Amino acid sequence: MKTCVCAILVCLLCLPASRAKSSAPAVQVYSRRPGDVKDNTLVCHVTGFYPPDIRIELTQNKREMPGAQQTDLAFEENWHYHLIKHVPFTPHKEDTYACNVTHMGRSSIYTWEPDM
């Protein structure tokens, strides 16, 4: 009898873990219009991550850019999530623009290439 209760408890504990494994985000940084044009938008597209807890920063010379907007958290198949963060900007040649994604305690920096 005791063994039986234990088995059920163990099974209940495994359920949430088997539903989804952790997955690192795939990140793309791009501008809505090509190159160095005025009144552009910097976009950071983050997909395929789990768990959903994530922090995305758009930075100009390593400082967070004000006025960025983020889409609602949406999920794809397999319980993986995706998010888009974007901010209006007029790029300056001397400046470095990047997206800093922090997931499961690990930060990665993705730099924007203006002539893509």
Q: Which residues bind ligand NAG (CB under 6 A)?
A: 55, 57, 59, 62, 100, 102, 107, 109
Contact predicate 58/46, CB 8 Å: no
Which whole-number Å values give the CA distances from 77 to 47, 56, 59, in the listed order? 11, 22, 30
Minimum Å distance from CB 14 to ligand NAG?
32
Minimum Å distance from CB 41 to ligand NAG?
20
Torsion over CA: 55, 83, 79, 21 (sign):
negative
Residue nearest to ligand NAG (CB): 100
Minimum Å distance from CB 62 to ligand NAG?
5
| Nearest of 27, 90, 19, 89 to residue 54 by alpha carbon | 27
